[in-house]
Amino acid sequence: MLTVTMAIRRLTPTPRAVDWGLFAAVAKLLGTGVATIFAGTPDSAWIIDVHALSGVLLVLLLPVKLRRVSHRVSPSRLTGIRVLSVGLAVVVLGALGTGVWWIFGGTLDLGPWGLFHLHVALGLLVPPLLVVHLRSRFHSPTQATRGGRRDVLRYAGLVTAGALLWRVQGPVNDALDSAGADRRYTGSREDGTNNGNRFPVTSWVADNPEPVDGADWSLSVAGRVASETSYATDELSPDTTESAILDCTSGWYSGHEWQGVRVGDLLDAADPDDAAAWVQFRSVTGYRWSLPLSEARDAILATHVDGERLAHGHGYPLRLVAPGRRGFQWVKWVESVRVSKRRELGEWLAIFVSGL
């Protein structure tokens, strides 16, 4: 037992190197976690890999840290800042635990939310708690380099071990035939592929409008165009088909054959001017998102999914289908296509307050 303990100490970075390693891991987890929201194409899969590897590194370093400070949390030694530090440790362990549970196919019913949402919520709680923790526990980064080359080698070993552990989870999931085995490179799990409207109904933040009356609805194409146009429901012929995967930031993906109107055809009819660079798609709720003009031309505004008319929850009468984009960018209940020279910065706020 003593030999094992000594071996662990030799392989473990110095205390300050561990502290700053934990900080770096949390910072990478937060940064890559936010970036995964926009990672919709295979060439961005490295973001998810870095996120996962940072999580594994945190798993390897956190026990070392907790073992070192465990004697400080006895009832007689607790202070306000130490209680907060214990809370931070609990939240970090919760974020790690829910992430690992998700990877291996776990589920959790929290009403409108699930296990993935809990993982995200706990992850977002870590940074503010960490900032408060660091106010009383901050140590100069220069102290983390005192271990010199030995700590560099120790961290190289930890990163290698983390990469190997991350690679092992795939075969383990396959062997267990768990729900985590069919995860996409984004981490999302399959749900409802090729089954018409029978895939999850989700909305970003608070979008939940009353069903749209197709008889009163119309689509406008306006902005920097020579001919502003408006289309009633029966004037939009679903003559374009696109097979695309809807990958939602709620942790699921679903592949379908979408039928609708090619955005490029609508733009050709409206004739954008030479300054046109962006195309904004606006929902009846005020929710909106823009695509570069060249990308928007290849997108479609779908009226049907797998041969079925879109259900209200999936965006009837019209939703944007933007292959390679995450689900929150596939605007539902579209009523306006607007061509502009510059992207509207306000849409970054609109996606959080629309529907409220």
| Model confidence pLDDT, tens digit, residues 185-229 | 888 999 999 999 999 998 877 788 999 999 999 999 999 999 999
Residue 93: per-residue pLDDT: 92
* 190-351: CATH architecture: Alpha-Beta Complex (3.90)
Beta bridge partners of 340: 278
Q: Which of 90-99, 172-181, 337-346 has the lowest mean pLDDT?
A: 172-181
Q: Which two tokens stand for residue 266?
A: 């609508």
% of the chain with per-residue pLDDT over 70: 89
| Model confidence pLDDT, tens digit, residues 309-321 | 999 999 999 999 9
pLDDT, greater one: 298 or 163: 298
Nearest one of 143, 150, 248, 233 to 203, comparing CA atoms:
248
Residue 130: per-residue pLDDT: 85
Q: CATH 3.90.420.10 in the chain: give the residue spans.
A: 190-351
Q: Decide if pLDDT at 322 tops 60.
A: yes
- What does the alpha-carbon distance between residue 332 and residue 324 come to, in Å, rounded to a whole number? 17
Q: Which two tokens stand for residue 255?
A: 């592949």
Q: Decide if pLDDT at 81 tops 90.
A: no
CB-based contacts of 24-28 (< 8 A; 24+ apart in sequence): 25/54, 25/55, 25/57, 25/58, 25/61, 26/58, 26/92, 26/126, 26/127, 26/130, 28/54
